[in-house]
Structure formats: structure tokens, C-alpha cells
Amino acid sequence: MNAESSVIEKQREQTKASANQSQHQAAAEARLDRRELDEERDRRELERTWADGRGLWAWLTSTNHKTIATRYIITAFVFFLLGGIEAMLMRVQLARAENSFLSADLYNQIFTVHGTTMMFLFAVPIMEGMGLYLVPLMVGTRNVAFPRMNAYGYFTYLFGGLLLYGGFLLHTGPDTGWFSYVPLAGPAFSPGKRVDVWAQMITFTEIAALVGAIEIIATVFKQRAPGMSLNRIPLFVWSQVVTAFMIIFAMPAVMLASGFLAMDRLVDTHIFNPGEGGDAILYQHMFWFFGHPEVYIIFIPALGFVSTIVSTFARRKVFGYTAMVLSLIATAFLGFGLWVHHMFATPLPQLGQSLFTGASMMIAIPSGIQIFCWIATLWGGKVRLKTPLIFVLGFFAIFTLGGLTGVMLASVPLDLQVHDTYFVVAHFHYVLIGGAVFPLFGAFYYWFPKWTGRMLSERAGRWNFWLMFVGFNFVFFPMHELGLKGMTRRVYTYLPEMGWGDLNLLASIGAGILAIGVVVFLANVFWARRAGEVAGDDPWHSPTLEWATSSPPADYNFVHLPTVQGGYALWEKTVDAPVVVGLKTDCREVLATNVLDAEPDHKYQLPGPSIWPLMLALATAVAFVIGIFTPWAFPVAAALAFASLAGWFFSNPNSDNRRVKMTKPRPLAGHAQAQASEGQA
């Protein structure tokens, strides 16, 4: 608030100095005076303009990025808990040899739904949800670039999740693994509707992921605060942009794979049927061309959490900003060049395989650089050992171990021995839980005050961390040994003479400890929502813009859009930092800036609440859910989609502004005055 009023102060002084030079400037001064007096009125008007209203209708039509992102995060967390319950059931079943707690059929459904849930319904959506909440705040704008499409993305994701769990509860859960290899998943060996549920669920969630990716790219490239040139974008935002680009290149491959699979099953094509000249290996290529980048789609946003938390709690800039950004981009590129290491056991030429060995090992280089840079950041910092940082320290330990076993798996001979064994299960849980879930929990502790205005308990946070950390190692470390002892994956039981019983029991006990850790987290959240310490705007003294507004942020995010003087906006803020003024408050107007230097370019209006995204999502659901039973669903859905899109395009909720207005900001005396930031840069 101080900064904002001081900016206006500065503007007024500057204007005053030249006031009597021309009448025009005198008029400008008068306008500014009025503006200052009316700040309270602006606030009230912004509140009215950006409010979604209350009640069911408002819930269904909201296009606020924070509302939708919160839904993403909560929905994805519910799926995380469901996936966790499935994991617990599997651990109970495997706790001893020849256990009869779960039948083979149920176990196979459970491990399939567990994997599918964690990959498609938890990890990707929650990372995108974090991005959709934080990115507009971090780049200093009022909403994402395409707010209605954002709402559409959430509803398709929700319907996909409901389809999977609807099927599962009706005993029609998919049972062919989260990868659904053909021919096992083909019509001949998986009759019934189980695999169709899986294939269509994939399509739903991939649409949602693509939509979210487009939102993030457009928002970051066109709506950054003036002064936030590319080299000043916070590392978290960089990680979200890189992830979004990966999603755009990876997801179409799996949509194609699941689409072809659905066609083989529903309209009798033979794309993957070797008996009719199709190719079963083609499916694996298409699946893993998505499947491996998927891991990085989950993991790269987590690197953004880590960078943010490390720099905040070490009180200094992350060491090697450029190296960090280039490492993210290198990881993204390399991530597309190593899918074949999931297929080393298929008949492939040896030279080709070793290319993928090289690529898989190379990915350790950018990961290594990032870890070195974080350690260097801590080394020279002034460390506050708060819960978010403790989770990040846990990440270092677990992820480093998982990364090293990843290097082992890149080697063809070693992979041929441990591929599809519990060694791999251990490896990717180390990478995904250590690399993504631990930073995610750190991020929850870090941003919870921003979301709710209250702090989570530090004491409970310690318990939460240690229970999860110890429990995690108890579950997954023994699995390395189990894999080396020959225990294959996806087995619902094993014979007593195999000698796997003790380690499995240990892992099951660990799963219990891990689960208690998650329960402590939930209790902490419910307690803090009511009784947590009031946080204030910026409890951690953080560097990024989301902490420059109230907690929780108002619907419009900032009364005046901020400008940025350095890569760590709040730490490098000058006393007289200007803000953007002159955006209309009576409609949803935002400032568009250019891609490289974030110079103000034009203003445009975002649409407000709309029911059409939900309608279009319902049309999508008709296509893919009813499509399981009859292909006629598709023409019907196309008609419905056409109607929804017509409604979407011809009903601009800001009815007084049917066309987008393009206004060049005038300097100082005009509408937006952000040029001043250039002087400070």
C-alpha cells in the first residue's frame, strides 16, 4: 500500500513541476488528484466488476483463475488421497505371501486405477492448478488469458475423473495397467468396457492439460507486469512455461494412442492388431513418447517450488539464474529423446538403444547443475529452517537417490535385469514422490498463508515431514532390494518360498507411517483454516509479486497492477516504484505487454462469468462417455458442442464491449504509465 501511494505521490510531484507549462498537463494533474482520492472507489468498483457473485449459478459460471485453480488443487488432492488409499490396499495385500485380502481381479483394477489416478488425475492437474493460481499473481495481472477456456478445462478434468471412479465403483475399473499395452488392452483380450473407461478418461484429462498449458503460455508471454522482461521472470514461472510447452508436445501423442485404442475397441479398426497387419510396438512408442515427458511435466513445476522456497528461506537470489533456466529447458528437450528406455526389452537394434542410453544419462547433467546451484544458494545464505524448506531438504535426499537409480536404469544391461521389477517401482517413487510430492507439500506450507490468510502450524509441519520422510524410506527403499531379488511388478501375490516376505512387510509398515504423515497434514489444514495464526500479506518476506497483495488475494488480484524493477520483484523494489494506472475499473480490463521486455502494448478486456464452458464440457462428456457405448454419440456431441460454442462466442458477458478494445497507453499523464519502470531497470 505504501508503495502504491508513494507512486501516486511521485506522479503528482512530477506533474506539479510542469503543471503551469500547459493546460493539458494541468488537466492531467486534476485527473490524478481525482484518481488518488478515488482509490477507495476504485477498489470498490474493482470488487464489483470482478466478483463472481454467490450461489450455485456463480459456482457454475466462475471464470476467476483463483477459484478454478483452487478447484483443481482440491480435486487433485482428493484424487491423491484416493490413490493413496488404493496404495494402502495394495500394501495390505502384499504384506505377506499368498495373502487373500484382495482378489487378483480387484488387485489388478486397483493398481491400474492407482497409477492412472496418480499420473493423470493428481500429479499433472495439481501442478497445473498451482500454476493457474500463482502464475497470474506472480506476473502481476488480474486473470489468465482465456478465463472461460480455463473453466472448460477444469470441468473436462472433473468429468474425466468422475468417469474413472464411476467405472471403478461399478466394478468396471480398468485392469490393464496405467499404460494399457495392446494387445492386452485390445478388444480380444479385454472384453467389456473397462479399457474404454481408461482410454476416454485419458482423453478428458489430456484436453484439460492442454487447455491449462495454453493458458499459462499466453498469460506469461502477454500479461506480465511492465518491467518483467524474460530475464526477470521468477523461476517458478519459468518452470510452468517450460512444462506447458512440454504438455503441448507430449499430450497429443497419448491422445492419439488412446484414440487409436478406442477405435480398435469401438469401431473395429486394427491399428494395433498384429493379426491384421497392425503393430503392437507402435502403441508403446506413442505411449512412451508421451509417458516419459510426462514424468518431467510433473517434476519441472516442482523444481520451480524448490527454487522459490530455497531463495526465500536462504534470503538470497538463486545461484545461477541463467544456468537454472537453461537447465529447465535442456531437461524439457532431453525429456523427449529418451522414451525408448522404457522399451529396452523389446527387439530393437543395439546401436539405437545406446543412443537412448546416452540421452537418458545426459538428463542427469541439468538435474545435477540445478542441485549444485541450490546447494550453493543455501551455502551463501542466511537460512531460516521453516517447514517449506525442510520439505525441500527432504527432496534433496530422496530425489538425489532416485536420480542415481535412474542413471542405472539408463544402462541397457542393467535395465534388462531390473526392468518391470520392484527396483523400478522404487526408482520412480523416489523420483516422483521425492521429486514432486515433497516439494509440493513444501509449497503447500509456503503458499497456504496466501491462499487462506492463515499460517499452518510449524510444529505439526515438523511431524508431518518426519512421518512422511521416514515412512517413505521404509516403504520404498526395501523395494530396490526386492527388485534385485527378482520380484516383478504388478503381481497380486507371491509364493512364500520366494523370500520376499520380510521386505514386503517392512514396506507395508512404512506405508502406514507415510499415511499417518498425510493425515497430520490434513489435520493441520483443517485446524489452520479456523485457528491458524493470521498471516498478513507477506509472512515469509518473499520476493515474488503474489506477496504484494492481500492474503487471500482479492478477485482482481491488485488494485493497481505493479511494475517490476528486478528478478526478485519485492526484494528489488525501489521506493518510488511506479504502478500501472488507467486500466478501467468498470470492466475486466487487463494490460497486455510484449513478449521479450514486457513493455506495455495495449489493454484488452477479459470476459466475465459464463455458463458456456460448462455446457461445452458437458458436450465433450457426451462424446466420450456415451461414445463408449455407441459411435453415434459423436455426431450428437458435435451438434451440442456447436450450440455451446455459438453461445460462447456470441454472448460476451461484458455486453457493453463486444469488441476487444486496443488502446495504446499514453505516457505519464495518460492511462497506463509504466514506462517509468524502464528508467529504474
Site for another protein in 568-597 (CB under 8 A): 568, 571-572
CB 165 within 8 A of CB 82: yes
Q: Which is nearer to another protein, 78 or 376 (CB)?
A: 376
* Per-residue contact string for residues 371-390; x = within reach of another protein by CB under 8 A: xxx-xx-xxxxxxxxx----
Contact pick of 489, 529, 584, 602 for another protein (by CB under 8 A): 489
Q: Which is nearer to another protein, 379 or 642 (CB)?
A: 379
Give the nearest distance from C-beta 68 to another protein in angstroms.
32
Q: Which is nearer to another protein, 289 or 469 (CB)?
A: 469
Contact pick of 20, 21, 322, 350 for another protein (by CB under 8 A): 350
Give the nearest distance from C-beta 271 to another protein in angstroms.
13
How many other C-beta atoms lie within 10 A of the C-beta of residue 348? Answer: 14
Give the nearest distance from C-beta 554 to another protein in angstroms.
25
Q: Which is nearer to another protein, 236 or 494 (CB)?
A: 494
**Within positions 526 to 545, which residues make up the interface with another protein, using CB under 8 A?**
533, 541, 543
CA-CA-CA-CA dihedral for 420, 368, 360, 291, to nearest 10:
60
Q: Which is nearer to another protein, 236 or 568 (CB)?
A: 568
Binding flag, residue 484, another protein (CB under 8 A)? yes
Contact pick of 69, 244, 302, 410 for another protein (by CB under 8 A): 410
Q: Which is nearer to another protein, 478 or 600 (CB)?
A: 478
Per the DSSP assignment, residues forming a β-bridge with 454 are 534
CA–CA dist 579, 673 (Å, integer): 7
What are the E-state strand segments in 457-502? none
Q: How far is CA 134 from the centre of its chain?
A: 10
Q: Which is nearer to another protein, 74 or 188 (CB)?
A: 188
Give the nearest distance from C-beta 246 to another protein in angstroms.
23
Give the nearest distance from C-beta 243 to another protein in angstroms.
24
Contact pick of 357, 557, 585, 605 for another protein (by CB under 8 A): 357
Half-sphere exposure for 220 (CA within 13 Å, toward CB): 28
* 602: phi then psi, degrees, rounded to nearest 5: -160, 170
Give the nearest distance from C-beta 113 to another protein in angstroms.
14
Q: Dig out the grid coordinates for 83 from the structure.
A: 490413490
CA–CA dist 242, 673 (Å, integer): 31
Distances (CA, A) of 465 to 68, 130, 314: 28, 20, 19
**Within positions 621 to 680, which residues make up the interface with another protein, using CB under 8 A?**
none
Half-sphere exposure for 343 (CA within 13 Å, toward CB): 25
Give the nearest distance from C-beta 488 to another protein in angstroms.
5
* Per-residue contact string for residues 170-189; x = within reach of another protein by CB under 8 A: -----xxx---x-xx---xx
Q: Dig out the grid coordinates for 255 from the structure.
A: 491422445
**Within positions 96 to 115, which residues make up the interface with another protein, using CB under 8 A?**
103-105, 108
**Within positions 9 to 48, which residues make up the interface with another protein, using CB under 8 A?**
none
Contact pick of 290, 492, 547, 558 for another protein (by CB under 8 A): 492
**Within positions 494 to 523, which residues make up the interface with another protein, using CB under 8 A?**
494-495, 497-500, 502-503, 506, 510
Question: 194-222 and 124-139 helices cross at what angle (nearest 10)?
Answer: 10
Q: Is 454 helix (H, G, I), strand (E, B) or coil?
A: strand
Q: Which is nearer to another protein, 229 or 284 (CB)?
A: 284
* Per-residue contact string for residues 268-307; x = within reach of another protein by CB under 8 A: ------xx---xxx--------------------------
Give the nearest distance from C-beta 553 to another protein in angstroms.
22
Select from 292, 250, 229, 218 the least CA-distant residue to 567.
229
| Residues 144-181 as b or e (16 or more Cβ within 10 Å = b) | bbbbbbbbbbbbbbbbbbebbbebbeeebbbbbbbbbb
Give the nearest distance from C-beta 196 to another protein in angstroms.
17
Give the nearest distance from C-beta 280 to another protein in angstroms.
6
Give the nearest distance from C-beta 339 to another protein in angstroms.
16
**Within positions 419 to 478, which residues make up the interface with another protein, using CB under 8 A?**
419-421, 455, 457-459, 462, 470, 473-474, 477-478
Stretch that binds another protein, among 31-39, 128-136, 219-227, 404-412 (CB under 8 A): 404-412
**Within positions 189 to 218, which residues make up the interface with another protein, using CB under 8 A?**
189
Give the nearest distance from C-beta 226 to another protein in angstroms.
22
CA–CA dist 522, 453 (Å, integer): 17
R_g (Cα) of the chain, nearest Å: 26
Give the nearest distance from C-beta 461 to another protein in angstroms.
9
* 664: phi then psi, degrees, rounded to nearest 5: -70, 130
Give the nearest distance from C-beta 363 to another protein in angstroms.
10
The C-alpha angle 201, 204, 206, rounded to 5 degrees, equals 105
CB 223 within 8 A of CB 592: yes
Contact pick of 27, 30, 74, 365 for another protein (by CB under 8 A): 365
Q: How far apart are the first and last CA of the chain?
A: 22
Q: Which is nearer to another protein, 15 or 473 (CB)?
A: 473
Contact pick of 347, 650, 659, 679 for another protein (by CB under 8 A): 347
Instruction: Write the secondary structure of 24-67 as one string of H (helix), E (strand) and C (coil).
Output: HHHHHHHHHHHHHHCHHHHHHHHHHHHCCCCHHHHHHHCCCHHH
Per the DSSP assignment, residues forming a β-bridge with 591 are 603
CB 219 within 8 A of CB 233: no
Q: Which is nearer to another protein, 15 or 421 (CB)?
A: 421
Q: Which is nearer to another protein, 481 or 576 (CB)?
A: 481
- What is the size of the binding site for another protein (CB under 8 A)? 111
Contact pick of 191, 192, 352, 358 for another protein (by CB under 8 A): 358
Stretch that binds another protein, among 64-72, 253-261, 343-351, 551-559 (CB under 8 A): 343-351
CA–CA dist 477, 493 (Å, integer): 20
Instruction: Write the secondary structure of 141-197 as one string of H (helix), E (strand) and C (coil).
Output: CCCCCCHHHHHHHHHHHHHHHHHHHHHHHCCCCCCCCCCCCCCCCCCCCCCCCHHHH
Select from 589, 591, 617, 618 the least CA-distant residue to 602.
591
CB 603 within 8 A of CB 591: yes
